[in-house]
Amino acid sequence: MNKLRLLASILLSLLLTASAARAQTSYKVPTGYSFQTADDYAEYEPQVIAAVNWLEKTPLNQEPALRKETDQFLFQWISGSSSVSVQLQKYVADLAGQDSELLMLFMGGWARYQLQHPETKDAVQLNTEGIRTMLRAYQAGGFRRNKQLDELKKLEAAGTLPAWVKKQLAG
């Protein structure tokens, strides 16, 4: 009976591991894309949102090749899209420090929010959404410890992150 339980436990563990592995790799980065016209960009808007969702949920140290391809896709899309206009401020570069992935996450979070809320033009809101995306990815793991982001997590929990962002934009 104990062997049967052990076998069942091992089988269950393998099934759960396989499901988790499948969940990690269910995201597929677009391939063969070409951004020539506004319609080309519009066609990939759902993939942009999916890419940002995947980047913020997947720990930095998992699937590095897929992350790199995703970053390249996002950067090309954001750089030429007329649907979004991401504006990087010095405070964002300071927050990211040496982690260029954090800058990509900021830009992705801004772009995703602007796609989902095209009526929003408020710089504080757009910057805040970029920061929130950075924070969610940071919490997912794999990044070096960042004291500034640790502090921003506290501000977000207290509901004062937008006020902090507003102050950064004013200064």
**Domain span including residue 84:** 30-170
pLDDT single digits (tens) 108-143? 999 999 999 999 999 999 999 999 999 999 999 999
Length of the chain: 171
User: Residue 99 falls within a domain, yes or no?
Assistant: yes
- Number of folded domains that form the chain: 1
**Residue-wise burial string across 150-171, b where 16 or more C-beta atoms lie within 10 A, e elsewhere:** eebbebbeeeebbebbbebeee
**In contact, 91 and 168? CB cutoff 8 Å:** yes
User: Residue 9 falls within a domain, yes or no?
Assistant: no
> In 3-state terms, what secondary structure has residue 27?
coil
User: Residue 8 falls within a domain, yes or no?
Assistant: no
pLDDT single digits (tens) 43-101? 999 999 999 999 999 999 999 999 999 999 999 999 999 999 999 999 999 999 889 99
How many CB atoms are closer than 10 A to CB 140? 15
